[in-house]
Structure 1
Amino acid sequence: MKFYNRFIRTFQDLPDHTTLLVHSLSGCLLHCYGCHNYDEIIANTPRQYKTKEDLYNYLEKSGFLFDAVMFSGGEFLIDKIEDITVLLEQVQSIFNGKIIVTTCGIYNTKIKHLIEKELVDGIHIDMKLPYHVLDPKEDQKIFQDIMGIKASHQLIENLLESIDTVIQHNSPLDQVRTVKYPILADTFFDEIRDYIEQRKSYFQSDVPYYLNQFQYV
């Protein structure tokens, strides 16, 4: 596995924690509107990169400076689940802090695997659109404009199941979040918020939901 050549220290991505942000260079199935990482990490993958051994060494020497490691992308879960498992098991063996994975939600079975094997302390999942009220045929342009993909019923099913998986996990370090894309009407975000609240009520979950403002580059 390859990672962005700079591990980033952040105080914002995980409230009340000092976090080491690690970006995977394995790619992403999406090309989301205004994605900050697409050009540098996905479309033009850097020639210089860090390996998993670099990460292990860094954590062994400097892990005391952080109380969490967050794996992001691109899409961190795009790699083989066997490789992801080995990586996270090794990180757990040398790092005493929390492990967070951010994901778009396409890989539901991988999310379940990480939770079942207790390889993560939290999942941060993006709900980019109100999937539950969109039709992959009639609303294809919306999926293309926001997520850069051709939607299908199976894709929507996977995304919604991943949302439920995270809500059911109900860890204090889980998050469901949405970017307030400026090209969408407020009704889209109202639908997402209401859906999340309904699912939280159904599963008796306290997972926080965040509506993040779109950041122009």
Structure 2
Amino acid sequence: MKFYNHFIRTFQDLPDHTTLLVHSLSGCLLHCYGCHNYDEIVANTPKNYKTKEDLYAYLERNGFLFDAVMLSGGEFLIDKMVDITDLLKKVRSIFKGKIIVTTCGIYHTKLKRLIAEGLVDGIHIDMKLPYHVLDPREDQNIFQDVMGIKPNQQLIENLLDSIDTVIQHNSPLDQVRTVKYPILADIFFDEIRDYVEKRKSYFQSDVPYYLNPFQYV
């Protein structure tokens, strides 16, 4: 695995925690509207980067400076499962804080396995559209404009399965979140919020939902 050359300490991504934000350079299947990371992290891999050994060494030297590690991207779960689990097991062995993974939800089986094996303490998942009310044939342009992909029914089922998985996990460190894309009407965000709240009620979960403002570059 390759990682962005700068590990970033942040106080905003995980409430009440000092977090080390680590960006994977392995890529992403999406090209979301206004993505700040796409050009530098996804489309063009930087010439200078850090390796997993660099990450381990950094955690051993400086792990006392933060109490959580957040692995993001791109899409962190795009890598081979064996590489993902090996990395997380090593991080778990040398770092005593919390491990958070951010994901778009496409890799639902990988997500379930990480939770089942206790390799993550929290998941931050992006629900970018109200998948449950969109038709992959009739609403292709919406998926293309917001997520940069051509959808199919299996993709939608995988995304919704991942949302349920995070809600069921119900860790205090989990989040379901949405970016308030300026190209979408408010009804889209109302549908997402209502869906998440209904699933939370069904699973008796307290996972928070955040509607985050779109950040203009």
User: In structure 1, what is the Cα distance between the partners aligned to 2:3 and 2:208?
Assistant: 28
Q: CA-to-partner distance for each residue in 1:14-62, whole Å, 9 max, x for gaps? A: 0000000000000000000000000000111101100000000000000
Which residue of 2 is the match for residue 94 of structure 1?
94
Residue 70 in 1 paired to residue 77 in 2?
A: no
Residue 203 in 1 paired to residue 196 in 2?
A: no
User: In structure 2, what is the Cα distance between the partners aligned to 1:47 and 1:137?
Assistant: 39
Q: Where does 1:1-217 land on structure 2 (aligned, <5 Å)?
A: 1-217=1-217
User: How far 1:106 sits from its partner (Å)?
Assistant: 0.1
Residue type at the aligned position of 1:111: L
* TM-score normalized by the length of structure 1: 1.00
User: In structure 2, what is the Cα distance between the partners aligned to 1:11 and 1:134?
Assistant: 35
Residue type at the aligned position of 1:174: D
- Structure 1: which 5+ runs fail to align? none
Equivalenced residues, count: 217
Residue type at the aligned position of 1:33: Y
User: In structure 1, what is the Cα distance between the partners aligned to 2:107 and 2:185?
Assistant: 28
User: In structure 2, what is the Cα distance between the partners aligned to 1:173 and 1:110?
Assistant: 19
User: How far 1:127 sits from its partner (Å)?
Assistant: 0.1
Q: CA-to-partner distance for each residue in 1:124-158, whole Å, 9 max, x for gaps? A: 00000000000000000000000000000000000
Residue type at the aligned position of 1:129: L
Residue type at the aligned position of 1:90: K
Residue type at the aligned position of 1:187: I
The percentage of aligned residue pairs carrying the same residue is 85
User: In structure 2, what is the Cα distance between the partners aligned to 1:193 and 1:182?
Assistant: 17
Q: CA-to-partner distance for each residue in 1:44-99, whole Å, 9 max, x for gaps? A: 11011000000000000000001000000000000011100000000000000000
User: In structure 2, what is the Cα distance between the partners aligned to 1:92 and 1:107?
Assistant: 21
Q: Following superposition, which runs of at least 4 residues in structure 1 exceed 3 angstroms of deviation?
A: none
Q: CA-to-partner distance for each residue in 1:156-209, whole Å, 9 max, x for gaps? A: 000000000000000000000000000000000000000000000000000000
Residue type at the aligned position of 1:202: Y
* TM-score normalized by the length of structure 2: 1.00
Residue type at the aligned position of 1:104: C
Matched residue SS, 1:45: coil
Residue type at the aligned position of 2:144: Q
Matched residue SS, 1:106: coil
- Structure 2: which 5+ runs fail to align? none
